Chains A and B, each alone.
Chain A
Amino acid sequence: MTQPLLQVEDLRTHFLSRWGTAKAVDGVSFSVFPGETLGLVGESGCGKSVTCLSILRLLPQPAGKIVGGRVLWEGEDLLKKSEGEMRRIRGRCISMILQDPMTSLNPVFSIGDQVAEGIAIHQRLKAKALWQKTAEVLGSVRIPSPQARLREYPHQFSGGMRQRVVGAISIACEPRLLIADEPTTSLDVTIQLQYLTLLKDIQKRTGVAMIFVTHDFGIVAKICDRVAVMYAGRIVEIADVRDLFDRPAHPYTQALLDSIPNLDEEVDRLYSIEGQPPALHSLPPGCAFAPRCSHVTRRCGDEYPSEVFLNPGHMARCWEAAQ
């Protein structure tokens, strides 16, 4: 087996607030292998974005604190690096695409300036060579006539093109891991499909690994190789994408899959999960999904389930699945 590119071990990120400690990420472990796409799925507030920000150490300060665990990048712990060392890693080894292309580009700098910034820092290119490389990168995300558009500003681009510019910024320095945090949520469906196809093509060409954060199982089915399902700050199930859809082991995954309307068949009534996701300030001692779970036993309320392996690549944290 190949060595994992990134290994997250028992990561814990807490937010300190007036109302107590919110355990946004509470013991998350997973690894990403070269060239694969790992989907990180869950509802809002389940900790998927905070997990990604913790890997790059970009948490909002001083509220967010990584209180435990390790993030191993090729065997080196990123959590022990200095800020200067982290700056050399961000963008060059691991880069990130944010959700909203309207706010992640600076409106007062030209597109060229913003794409060139990262290249200038990491590759120390100057003037003509830098401009050349920038146009090349923009061309690789299929921006038509990139040379001419370098001098334009974000407001002259449409939503789909802006998101492609954000993509260009993140792949400009040929990173080996790309973290995409819901990059297509603000795009229309036909543009979303264009964008996902583009990301897949880039992956095929460069072999970049991806962590794809989303709440949409359609995207997972389309582009992910493996999937981690998160609930209330923890990973409740990890599996190969086919295993997850065919044999979901955790009741939360099963319920989620059942509650999504299907485009190809008529359903009279959808299965719905009752209740609301729990507040992160006051998590129950046992399984956080227990109050909404239809297979709940007494043990679920008292003890947090340990890892159960259904096959070497398929893990679920559930007492029921253990049986």
Chain B
Amino acid sequence: MTDVLLEAQSVKKHFPVTKSFILARTKSSVKAVDGVSFVIRQGETLSLVGESGCGKTTTAKMILLLEHPTTGSIVFRGKDLQHLTPMEMKEYRASVQAVFQDPWSSLNPRMRVGSIIAEPLVVNRILTSKAIRDRVRELLVQVGLRPEHDDLYPHEFSGGQRQRIAIARALSLRPAVIVLDEPVSALDVSVRAQIMNLLKDLQREYGLSYLLIAHNLATVRYMSDRVAVMYLGKIVETAQTKQLFAHPAHPYTRALIAAALRSRPDTQQEEIVLPGEVPSPLNPPSGCAFHPRCSNALPRCSETLPVLQEQENGHWVACHVAENRTVATSGSFSAEERT
């Protein structure tokens, strides 16, 4: 497909755990991300969902080049990031931007808002200082603030307004992809909708692609086109948003959806209270990592690792139980088949 913008191909990130500081012998490794593949297309939103420690933030960090994958590759516009020239690398960094969770710590309190938004433009030396000032004012208006706000400091703004500033900074270089790491979860309930609507409007206007990391499923449902559910460093299910919420196939996805609290009393919902907690990625269970908490685990779930298989068009599940339910029609997942 031609409109694939960014692709992760069985990306792994293992953090070594050393036994002693001096001898620094590698004892084992934490498999934070363990073979994750996905594509982000032009103008769409892909969400990564999962509980803390499932590797969603590490995945995002690798896309932002803040971590290097242990193995696997990330391909942007047909080029592998590992083989980019320094010039191309600079371009890549400009076209992939991020908005973080906490606008209290992601904005420098000692810089004026104008300089915060202008910084990426200054670093990339693409505009004259006059043009930069105009661009900053234009960006402020785009995110719903006033142009004269460029002279103020971050502490003079409320949480929602700060998140708007962070969005303006991310937009300043006209990126292709924005990584949104829990963009609304630190905000007040009454301003969340404002920010979500703003992000959707900007996406429509500029054809932006988003990689959204969130744990609130209602937010994910509202914002995204496709969803990938992660558990202990692996994607266990991925599908179109509508399909995933209507027919979740993996028991973990079903439990997540059941655990998400409905915003109305007396809503009929499946009662699944998962026993136990997420196991440590240092020592993950054998076979399917979810089997100790799964209520319909089969004997072979603890022995062999299920691979992602396509159930329906674009709906991939890694589960032995779901496999049994539908006769698998396609082979195992590989990056080649998807592109």
Instruction: Tell me the A residues contacting B by CB distance below 8 Å.
Output: 43-44, 158, 160-161, 188-194, 197, 215-219, 221-222, 241-242, 245, 255-257, 259-264, 266-267, 269-274, 276-277
User: A255 to chain B: which residues have CB within 8 Å?
Assistant: 190
Contact (Cβ within 8 A) B259 A261: no
Contact residues, B184-219 vs A (CB, 8 A): 188-194, 196-197, 200, 215, 217-219
A276 CA to B157 CA, complexed, in Å: 10
By DSSP majority rule, is chain B's interface helix, strand, loop, or mixed? helix
How many whole Å from A294's CB to the nearest CB in chain B? 13
Q: In the complex, what distance in Å separates the CA atom of A188 from the CA atom of B278? A: 10
User: Is residue B260 contacting chain A, with contact meaning CB distance below 8 A?
Assistant: yes
Contact B160 A276 (CB under 8 A): yes
> Inside 8 A of B19's CB, which chain A residues have their CB?
none
> Within the assembled complex, what's the spacing in Å between the Cα atoms of A245 and B191?
20
Max count, chain A CB within 10 A of own CB: residue among B190, B197, B245 = B190
A191 close to B189 (CB less than 8 A):
no
A259 touches B190 (CB 8 A): yes
* A188-B51, A242-B266, A277-B188 as given contacts; A193 in contact with B193, CB under 8 Å: no
- Taking CB as reference atom, which chain B residue is nearest A274? B194
| Among candidates A158, A190, A271, residue contacting B274 with C-beta atoms closer than 8 Å | A190
Q: Are B188 and A266 in contact (CB under 8 A)?
A: no
Contact B193 A271 (CB under 8 A): yes
- CB contacts (< 8 Å) of B174 on chain A: these are none
Whether a CB of chain A sits under 8 angstroms from the CB of B26 is: no
Query: When chains A and B are docked, how far (Å) is the Cα of A216 from the Cα of B215?
Result: 14
Q: When the two chains form their complex, are residues A191 and B190 in contact, meaning their CB atoms are under 8 A apart? A: no
Are A260 and B263 closer than 8 Å at their CB atoms?
A: yes
- B221 adjacent to chain A (CB < 8 Å): yes
User: Contacting A266 at CB < 8 Å: which of B193, B242, B263?
Assistant: B242
Encode contact with A along B257-286: 1 for CB under 8 Å, 0 otherwise: 111111111110000011001100000000
Given the contacts A188-B215, A221-B264, A272 and B193 also touching, CB distance less than 8 Å:
yes
CB-CB < 8 A to B219: which residues of A?
A: 261
Give the 9 A-B residue pairs with the shortest CB-CB distance, closest first: A218-B261, A272-B193, A259-B193, A261-B222, A188-B51, A43-B188, A261-B218, A193-B259, A221-B265
Q: How far is the CA of A118 from the CA of B218 in the complex (A)?
A: 40
Q: Which residues of A contact B106 (CB under 8 A)?
A: none
CA distance A216 to B255 in the complex (A): 19
Q: Number of residue pairs across A and B with beta carbons under 8 Å? A: 121
Smallest CB separation, A156 vs chain B (Å): 12
Contact status B265-A245, CB under 8 Å: yes
- B161, B189, B262, B277: the one contacting A43 at CB < 8 Å is B189
Interface residues of B in 225-261 (CB under 8 A from A): 242, 245, 255-261
Contact residues of B with A, CB < 8 Å?
Answer: 51-52, 158-161, 188-194, 196-197, 200, 215, 217-219, 221-222, 242, 245, 255-267, 273-274, 277-278
In Å, the complex CA distance between A194 and B215 comes to: 16
CB neighbours (8 Å) of B263 from chain A are 217-218, 221, 257, 260, 262-263
A259 and B189 contacting across the interface, CB-CB below 8 Å = yes
Asked whether A273 and B193 contact (CB < 8 A) given A190-B255, A262-B218, the answer is yes
Q: Are A261 and B221 closer than 8 Å at their CB atoms? A: yes
B259 contact from A189, A215, A269, A270, Cβ within 8 A: A189
Report whether A190 and B242 are in contact in the complex, using a CB–CB cutoff of 8 Å.
Answer: no
What residues on A are CB-neighbors of B221 within 8 Å?
Answer: 261-263, 266
- Complex Cα–Cα for A126 and B200 (A): 61
- CA A61 – CA B238 in complex, angstroms? 52
Partner of A272, one of B159, B161, B197, B274: B197
Contact indicator B273/A194 (Cβ below 8 Å) = yes
Out of A188, A242, A267, which one reaches B265, CB within 8 Å?
A242
Give the contacting residue for A269; candidates B197, B218, B256; CB below 8 A.
B197
A189-B260, A221-B263 known; A260-B196 Cβ under 8 A: no
Contact among B158, B200, B257 for A263, CB-based, below 8 A: B257
Contact in complex: A221, B260 (CB < 8 Å): no
User: Considering the chains assembled together, what is the distance between the CA atoms of A264 and B267 in angstroms?
Assistant: 10
| List of B residues within 8 angstroms of A264 by Cβ | 245, 262, 267
CA distance A197 to B256 in the complex (A): 15
Give the interface centre of A161, A216, A269, A276 by most chain B CB atoms within 10 Å: A276
Q: Do the beta carbons of B245 and A263 come within 8 Å of each other?
A: yes
Would you call A272 and B194 a contact (CB within 8 A)?
yes
Closest chain-B Cβ to A282's Cβ sits at a distance in Å of: 14
A190 to B261, CA, bound (A): 10
* Cβ A218 vs Cβ B188 within 8 A: no
- Let me know if B262 and A188 touch, CB within 8 A: no
A276 near B262 with CB under 8 A, answer no
| Chain B residues positioned under 8 Å from A241 (CB to CB) | 265
26 A-B pairs whose Cβ atoms sit less than 8 Å apart in the complex? A43-B189, A44-B159, A158-B277, A188-B52, A190-B51, A190-B256, A191-B51, A215-B188, A216-B261, A218-B261, A218-B262, A221-B263, A242-B265, A260-B263, A261-B219, A261-B221, A262-B218, A263-B217, A263-B260, A264-B245, A269-B200, A272-B194, A273-B190, A276-B158, A276-B160, A277-B158
Closest Cβ neighbor of A273 among chain B residues: B190
Contacts of B196 in A (CB 8 A): 261, 270, 272
Q: Residues of B contacting A272 with CB < 8 Å?
A: 191, 193-194, 196-197
